[in-house]
C-alpha cells in the first residue's frame, strides 16, 4: 500500500471548526475585524461616517426601491473595498516594513480599488439623482 502523500502546505490550526460553531466564531472574528478597522484605519472611520450619512439619505432621495438599493450598495461597496485594502496593507506591513517595489505595488493597487469604489458612488448617485 502506498502511504498518503503529505502536502507541503500546512493548513491553519484555526481551521477545522464546522457547522454552527464555525458560523458563530466567524461572526465574532468579523466584529473584531470591524473594531480593528475602526481603531487603526482613519480612512475606514471617515468612510463609515460618510456611509452613516449617505445610507439614510438614500431613503429620502431615491424614488424607487431599485434606485435606493443601488445607492446603498454603492456606499457599502466602499466599506468592503476599504476593509480588503486595509487587510492587504496590514499583511504587507507584517511581512516587512522596508520599502520594496512589490509592497508599494500591492498597497497602490489596493488604494486604486478604493478610489474606483468611491468613483462608483459618485456615478451611481449622480445617475440616480440627475440621470
What ranges do the domains of the chain cover?
A: 42-130
Which residues 6+ apart lie within 8 Å of 111 measured at CB? 85
pTM of the model: 0.86
Model confidence over 102-128: pLDDT tens digits? 999 999 999 999 999 999 999 999 999
CATH topology of domain 42-130: Helix Hairpins (1.10.287)
* Residues taking part in catalysis: 82
Model confidence over 51-84: pLDDT tens digits? 999 999 999 999 999 999 999 999 999 999 999 9
pLDDT at 17: 73
Give the position of cell 462608483. 120
Amino acid at each position: 500500500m502506498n502511504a498518503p502523500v503529505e502536502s507541503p502546505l500546512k493548513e491553519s490550526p484555526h481551521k477545522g471548526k464546522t457547522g454552527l460553531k464555525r458560523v458563530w466564531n466567524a461572526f465574532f472574528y468579523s466584529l473584531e475585524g470591524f473594531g480593528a478597522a475602526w481603531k487603526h484605519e482613519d480612512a475606514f472611520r471617515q468612510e463609515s461616517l460618510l456611509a452613516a450619512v449617505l445610507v439614510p439619505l438614500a431613503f429620502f432621495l431615491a424614488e424607487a426601491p431599485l434606485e435606493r438599493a443601488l445607492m446603498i450598495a454603492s456606499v457599502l461597496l466602499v466599506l468592503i473595498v476599504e476593509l480588503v485594502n486595509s487587510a492587504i496593507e496590514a499583511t504587507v506591513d507584517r511581512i516587512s516594513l522596508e520599502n520594496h517595489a512589490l509592497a508599494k505595488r500591492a498597497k497602490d493597487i489596493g488604494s486604486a480599488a478604493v478610489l474606483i469604489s468611491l468613483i462608483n458612488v459618485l456615478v451611481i448617485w449622480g445617475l440616480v439623482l440627475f440621470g
